[in-house]
Structure 1
Amino acid sequence: MTGLVHALYARRLRRQVAGGPLPEHVGLIMDGNRRWARRAGLDDPSLGHEHGAAHAENVLAWCETIGIRHVTVFLCSTENLQRRGDAEIAFLMRVIERMAAERLAREDARWQVHVAGLLDALPDSTARALKDAVEATRACTTGAHVTLAVGYGGRQEVTDALRDHLYERAEAGDSLREVAAALTVNDIARHLYTAGRPDPDLIIRTSGEQRMSNFLLWQSAYSELYFCEATWPAFREIDFLRALRSYATRRRRYGG
């Protein structure tokens, strides 16, 4: 697709998307960085993470332009930390640190940064960079929120939420039997890493894989899912707009 044809097609897609319902919150599973690097002939497949992080800024810009105010980006899972080689993880952490410091924690920040995941499981420098980005953007007034899922696992999140609730009720003097009898969905939800922010309406996964990989398991109970063949660094604006167009044509069903 030539540049002119691409631009015309993107303009047409924007008009189509503008006429339909938009998701308030989009979740992004950034898959395929290393595959993209291999196809691009890069010597080190881990360099794909660097290109992927840079591309995330482009996607946030698309979201801002179209009016999407909440985005959660899956950068690194708890499984990644356990199963990937030390050198790759160290490189990925440096990429995340630079992304947080140079692309998000700026004086002219357009997105308020939040973090979801086990910061204690990350290198000190990475945890510090993420915390600094949260603090630096706390006063952001645009109304746009980006959550970085780093060292994140959906099962661990629910486990932590339940544990926090149990501790809270124990400190109040309640017995385990009383806690069990009174337990509600909201008791868990208010202790999640993402408490206070809306559940995702649409989750997009790139690189052709069709699974959730432990991402926002609780929050995605009623999310619409969209799987794209393009790897994350090759994910184009027209791919993004096609996902939004697909979302707009669907009839949301909440348990039906």
Structure 2
Amino acid sequence: MAFPVHVAFIMDGNGRWAKKRGLERIEGHRKGAEVADAASHWCADLGIRYVTLYAFSTENWRRPKEEVEFLFELMLLYISSKVGSMLEEGVRMRFMGRLNELPPELGDFVFQIENKTSMGKKLDVIVALNYGGRAEIVDAVNEILKIGKEQISEEDIAMNLYLPDVPEPDLIIRTSGEERLSNFLTWQSVYSELFFTGTLWPDFTKEEFHRAVDDYSKRKRRFGALD
């Protein structure tokens, strides 16, 4: 069975999950954080090396201020509580996005967590935070322009993405029934296999994750080549 090297998750449906239960949206995010942690462990158990979690997009700033502040606070508290276990389990946590635009406390926290976990060799957990696929490409091009290049190649852009050393995702899983990428890994996803499920993210289970990986293993990836 061929396992993916890099799995990315679009964790959609926290708010709808809470609404269905008569709860505040923040409770959906709280439960969603637990599932994100579990999903990282499911990947590690299969030997998957890279996991990317779409935590906060550049468009999410349009949400109510109170919800955005809660999301950031939840991230601070939840990740802080997991640092010890990440170090024990060989997890390296990394962040990608326009991190310089984050609130100072969160920006400092991101820097500290990356440093503390930098020696992790078993699993890279990548949190897409204040991330947009188009913004990443724009930022890459602007970096290239700084050195005065007149002709820009695909290789130039690839080397100037936020995390150029991370392989492109083999499998992208999106929950909640939406079937689009929503500005996620726009450059990197061109040959990714996609798996969509109607399950809301807080209800996403290990069994469904294994179904997605099993489905992936049965696909023939051609990358534009002939059959």
Equivalent residue number for residue 3 of structure 1? none
Structure 2 counterpart of 1:33, one-letter code: N
User: Aligned equivalents of 2:92 and 2:217: distance in 1?
Assistant: 26
Residue by residue, what CA displacement relative to the aligned partner does 1:83-102 show, whole Å, maximum 9, x if unpaired?
Answer: 10100100011111123222
Percent sequence identity over aligned pairs:
40
Query: Is the Cα–Cα contact under 8 Å of residues 109 and 137 in structure 1 kept in the other structure?
Result: no
Residue by residue, what CA displacement relative to the aligned partner does 1:151-210 show, whole Å, maximum 9, x if unpaired?
Answer: 00000000000100111x23xxxxxxxx233x2111011110121110000000001110
User: Aligned equivalents of 1:152 and 1:24: distance in 2?
Assistant: 22
User: Aligned equivalents of 1:108 and 1:118: distance in 2?
Assistant: 29
Residue by residue, what CA displacement relative to the aligned partner does 1:135-162 show, whole Å, maximum 9, x if unpaired?
Answer: 11011232x1111000000000000001
Q: Alignment partner for residue 111 of structure 2, among 125, 128, 131?
A: 131
2:196 pairs with 1:227: yes
* TM-score (ref. length: structure 1): 0.84
Which residues in structure 2 correspond to 1:9-24 (within 5 Å)? 20-24=1-5
Query: Is the Cα–Cα contact under 8 Å of residues 172 and 193 in structure 2 kept in the other structure?
Result: yes
User: Aligned equivalents of 1:61 and 1:97: distance in 2?
Assistant: 20
Change (3 A) 1:118 1:28: same
User: Aligned equivalents of 1:104 and 1:161: distance in 2?
Assistant: 31
Equivalent residue number for residue 31 of structure 1? 12
Q: Alignment partner for residue 163 of structure 2, among 171, 194, 197?
A: 194
Give secondary structure in 2 for the equivalent of 1:23.
coil
Q: Alignment partner for residue 150 of structure 2, among 180, 195, 200?
A: 180
Residue by residue, what CA displacement relative to the aligned partner does 1:11-65 show, whole Å, maximum 9, x if unpaired?
Answer: xxxxxxxxx11110001000001111112221x1122111111211111111111
Give 1:121 shift: 1.9
Give secondary structure in 2 for the equivalent of 1:108.
helix
Equivalent residue number for residue 48 of structure 1? 28
- Structure 2, unpaired ranges of 5+: none
Q: Alignment partner for residue 72 of structure 1, among 52, 70, 76?
A: 52
Query: Is the Cα–Cα contact under 8 Å of residues 170 and 193 in structure 2 kept in the other structure?
Result: yes
Give secondary structure in 2 for the equivalent of 1:200.
coil
User: Aligned equivalents of 1:40 and 1:237: distance in 2?
Assistant: 22
Q: Alignment partner for residue 237 of structure 1, among 201, 206, 216?
A: 206
Which deviates further from its counterpart, 215-224 or 131-140? 131-140
Give 1:104 shift: 4.0
Please, what is the CA RMSD of the aligned residues?
1.3
Query: Is the Cα–Cα contact under 8 Å of residues 104 and 111 in structure 1 kept in the other structure?
Result: no
Q: Alignment partner for residue 91 of structure 2, among 96, 101, 111?
A: 111
Query: Is the Cα–Cα contact under 8 Å of residues 90 and 119 in structure 2 kept in the other structure?
Result: no
User: Aligned equivalents of 1:46 and 1:62: distance in 2?
Assistant: 24
Give secondary structure in 2 for the equivalent of 1:241.
helix
Structure 2 counterpart of 1:119, one-letter code: L
Residue by residue, what CA displacement relative to the aligned partner does 1:204-240 show, whole Å, maximum 9, x if unpaired?
Answer: 0001110100000000010000001111110011110
Residue by residue, what CA displacement relative to the aligned partner does 1:86-128 show, whole Å, maximum 9, x if unpaired?
Answer: 0010001111112322224654253101110111221112112
Structure 2 counterpart of 1:41, one-letter code: G
Aligned residues: 224
* TM-score (ref. length: structure 2): 0.94
2:126 pairs with 1:147: yes
Q: Alignment partner for residue 216 of structure 1, among 167, 175, 185?
A: 185
- Between Structure 1 and Structure 2, whose CA radius of gyration is higher? 1
